[in-house]
Amino acid sequence: MRLEVVRGSVRRWLGRHIGIRKKLTDNVTEPITQGSVCGGSRYRQSGVLSVENLDMAKPKKAVAPKAKEFAFDKGDFVVYPTHGVGRVIDIEAKEIAGHKLELFVISFEQERMMLRVPVAKAKMSGLRKLSSRKIMESALVTLKGRSRVSRAMWNRRAQEYEAKINSGDPVSIAEVVRDLHRNAGQPDQSYSERQIYEAALDRLARELAAVERIDKDVATQKLNSVLQKVA
C-alpha cells in the first residue's frame, strides 16, 4: 500500500514537471538566419526573454573625458588670477592618495614661487591663457578714461580694488590703476593706496609684456606714458 502511494506521488511530480517543461519549450525563441545578434546568438524575439539575450547585455564602463581644452605645453605663458603671469615649466604625473593626477607646474619669477595646478581643475581654478591683443587694447583705452573714485570708506574701496586685481581681468586691473593714479598737482597717495596702485600696475605691465613680447620695464613705461597723456 505504501509503495503504491509513493509511485502515485512520483507520477504526479513527473506530470507537473513535464507539463512545465513543455510550456517553456512552446515559448522558447527559435533560431533565425537574419536579424539582430543578441548575446552572441541570433534569436527571434518572442513573448519570453531568453537567457542569451540578457547574459551579454553588460553595461559599458564610461570613459572619463580628458581635459584637453586647457592642454598647455611646456614654456607657455599662462595667467593665474591671484598671481598674474607665469610660465608652465613642466607637466607632472603624480599619484596622490591613490589617484593619478596630471599637474601643471607653473613658475612665477616675479614672486619666486612655484605653483602646481591639477589639469582637470585648471578651468575651475581660473587658470587661463594670455589675453589677446584686443583685450589689452581695451585695457589701455580704460587707462585713458576719467577716474571714478567711490565715496565709500577706504577699507571698502581697498577690498574692491584687491578683488579686481585678483580677478586677473586686464580691464578690471586697468580700472584700479586709472582710479589710483596721481599726476602732478594732485594729492599724494596714501601708503595703502600706493601699495595697491603699484601691485595693479605691475600685474598689468607683466601681462602686457608677455602679450607684446617686450621687456616688463618697457611695458611699464608704455602704461605710464598713457597715464601722463590723460592729465
Q: Is the pLDDT of residue 93 over 80?
A: yes
What is the C-alpha separation between 223 and 136, in angstroms, rounded?
A: 11
Cell of 223: 602704461
Q: Are residues 144 and 195 in the same domain?
A: yes
Closest CA to 197 of 151, 157, 145, 140: 157
Q: Please name the helix (run of DSSP H) or strand (run of DSSP E) that holds residue 178, with its range, or none.
A: helix 170-180
- 121 and 141 part of one domain: no
Contact 118, 101 (CB under 8 A): yes
3-state DSSP of 125-163: HCCEECCCHHHHHHHHHHHCCCCCCCCCCHHHHHHHHHH
In sequence order, what are the beta bridge partners of 37? Answer: 42
> Looking at 97, 129, 161, which one is the last position of a domain?
129
141 and 223 fall within a common domain: yes
Q: What is the enclosing helix (H) or strand (E) of 90?
A: strand 84-96
Please say if the pLDDT value at position 9 is more than 50: yes
- Average per-residue pLDDT for the chain: 79
Judged against a pLDDT cut of 60, whether residue 175 lies above it is answered with yes
151 and 224 fall within a common domain: yes
- pLDDT greater at residue 2 or residue 16: 16
pLDDT at 184: 64
3-state helix, strand, coil in the chain (%, to 5): 50, 20, 35
- pLDDT exceeds cutoff 50 at 34: no
At 110, which CATH number? 2.40.10.170
Q: Pick the residue with more confidence: 37 or 134?
A: 134
Evaluate whether 119 touches 67 at the Cβ level (below 8 Å). yes
Average pLDDT over residues 119-143: 95
| Judgement on whether residues 162 and 219 belong to the same structural domain of the protein | yes
> What pLDDT digit, counting tens, does each position of 134-161 carry?
999 999 999 999 888 788 899 999 999 9
DSSP letter for each residue of 9-65? HHHHHHHHHHHHHHHHHHHS--B-SSS-EETTEEB---SS--HHHHHT-PPPPPPPP
Based on the fold, state whether residues 153 and 206 are members of the same structural domain.
Answer: yes
Q: How many C-beta atoms surround the C-beta of residue 127 within 10 A?
A: 23
| C-alpha radius of gyration, the chain, whole number | 36
pLDDT over threshold 50, residue 29: no
Full-prediction pTM beyond 0.85? Answer: no
Q: Which domain CATH number covers 176?
A: 1.20.58.1290
End-to-end CA separation in angstroms for the chain: 125
Report strand pairing: 77-80 vs 41-42: unpaired
Does the structure show a pLDDT above 90 at 194?
Answer: yes
pLDDT (mean) for 157-182: 96
- The most confident of the ranges 58-62, 108-112, 147-151 is 108-112
Strands 99-108 and 128-129: unpaired
Least confident of 2-6, 9-13, 87-91, 180-184: 2-6
Domain tally, the chain? 2
- Structural domain boundaries enclosing 110: 77-129
- 164 is a domain residue: yes
Which of 84-88, 103-107, 148-152, 165-169 has the weakest average pLDDT?
148-152
pLDDT of residue 30: 42
